[in-house]
């Protein structure tokens, strides 16, 4: 535990991180358009008319335009069968003008992300949900990575926050946020504890951590009095309460205890969509490789840098 009391909590705002990613994406998408005649294109596919999913699509659309990525929204009726969803995904897989496909959640209860993920071409899987990309991530191989946790890592890196060797707790173990966040931090040499709904003493685990990442969808779950002084807190939570959006962290109580904290809104959210843009661009570059090449894999960020 730090001997000096922390008096000032640094707000880790997403805007400058998103701006840096956007600049990189714009350079790469210009290269694709101007030199190779390829317009990187993302399709968001939604079944039904969930307001949160449609709001997310709106924010994706605005952000993609600024990153040089074309966006198309496809909405299927809520009565769409599993076969209908699989057919729609197959058509997107076969469309050479589509480089990335994001399945917007939630879906009607008779469908699931797993059904969609099983049928999506891993080369177009810009949120890392297919078994191929999830497996490659867990094996430490190049892959399109889930945008939200990858954004969390980009945020930490942007602000120069050390991950290597630190004790970290990740709360939430979903396939799109918590689990890959734990994997990404393990790959960066953190010692990671994964907590979830059945964790017996969450407060104890949180009190030990130097880095706390929370993706539970549970407002106020993490309070300042649970934290080790000087902890870094990454809040992925998005909870709509009336007209307000709040995270999973009780923001007021962590001020003066945490060394740094991602505010909600304005923390991880803007970075997530910019990772989606860079994943779409990486997928567009990868689509140019000959299909007979054995190693049809997305470019790693360092390879993208080399191209831009």
**Cβ proximity of 163 and 190 under 8 Å:** yes
298 part of the interface to ligand NAD, by CB under 6 A: no
Q: Does residue 234 interact with ligand NAD by CB under 6 A?
A: no
Min CB(37)–ligand NAD separation in Å: 32
Q: For ligand NAD, give the closer residue by CB, 30 or 59.
A: 59
238 belongs to the binding site for ligand NAD (CB under 6 A): yes
Q: Whats the size of the chain, residue-wise?
A: 308
Among 40, 180, 269, 298, binds ligand NAD (CB under 6 A): 269
Q: Does 224 bind ligand NAD (CB under 6 A)?
A: no
Which of 171, 231, 254, 277 is close enough to bind ligand NAD by CB under 6 A? 171
Q: For residue 217, which phi and psi values (nearest 5 degrees)?
A: 70, 40
**Interaction between residue 174 and ligand NAD (CB under 6 A):** yes
What is the nearest approach in angstroms of ligand NAD to the Cβ of residue 23?
A: 20
For ligand NAD, the closer CB: 202 or 209: 202
Q: Which residues bind ligand NAD (CB under 6 A)?
A: 148, 171-174, 176-178, 195-197, 199, 202, 215-218, 221, 236-239, 268-269, 272
């Amino acid at each position: 535990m730090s001997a000096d009391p922390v008096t000032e909590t640094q707000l880790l705002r997403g805007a400058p991180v998103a701006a840096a990613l956007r600049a990189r994406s714009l350079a790469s998408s210009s290269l694709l358009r101007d030199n190779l005649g390829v317009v990187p294109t993302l399709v968001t596919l939604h079944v039904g008319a969930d307001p949160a999913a449609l709001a997310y699509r709106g924010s994706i659309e605005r952000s993609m335009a600024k990153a040089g990525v074309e966006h198309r929204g496809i909405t299927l009726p809520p009565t769409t069968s599993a076969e209908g969803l699989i057919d729609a995904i197959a058509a997107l897989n076969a469309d050479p003008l589509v480089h990335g496909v994001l399945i917007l959640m939630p879906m009607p209860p008779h469908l699931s992300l797993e059904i969609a993920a099983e049928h999506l071409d891993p080369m177009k899987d810009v949120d890392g949900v297919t078994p191929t990309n999830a497996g490659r991530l867990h094996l430490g191989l190049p892959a399109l990575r889930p945008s939200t946790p990858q954004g969390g890592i980009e945020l930490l890196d942007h602000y120069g926050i050390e991950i290597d060797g630190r004790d970290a707790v990740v709360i939430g173990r979903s396939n799109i946020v918590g689990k890959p966040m734990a994997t990404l931090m393990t790959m960066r040499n953190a010692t990671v504890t994964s907590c979830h709904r059945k964790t017996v003493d969450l407060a104890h685990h949180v009190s030990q951590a130097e880095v706390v990442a929370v993706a539970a969808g549970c407002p106020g779950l993490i309070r300042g009095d649970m934290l080790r002084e000087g902890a870094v807190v990454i809040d992925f939570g998005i909870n709509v309460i009336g007209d307000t959006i709040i995270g999973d962290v009780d923001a007021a109580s962590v001020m003066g205890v945490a060394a740094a904290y991602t505010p909600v809104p304005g923390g991880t959210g803007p970075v997530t969509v910019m990772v989606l843009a860079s994943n779409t661009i990486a997928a567009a570059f990868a689509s140019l490789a000959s299909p007979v090449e054995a190693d049809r894999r997305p470019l790693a960020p360092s390879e993208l840098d080399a191209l831009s």
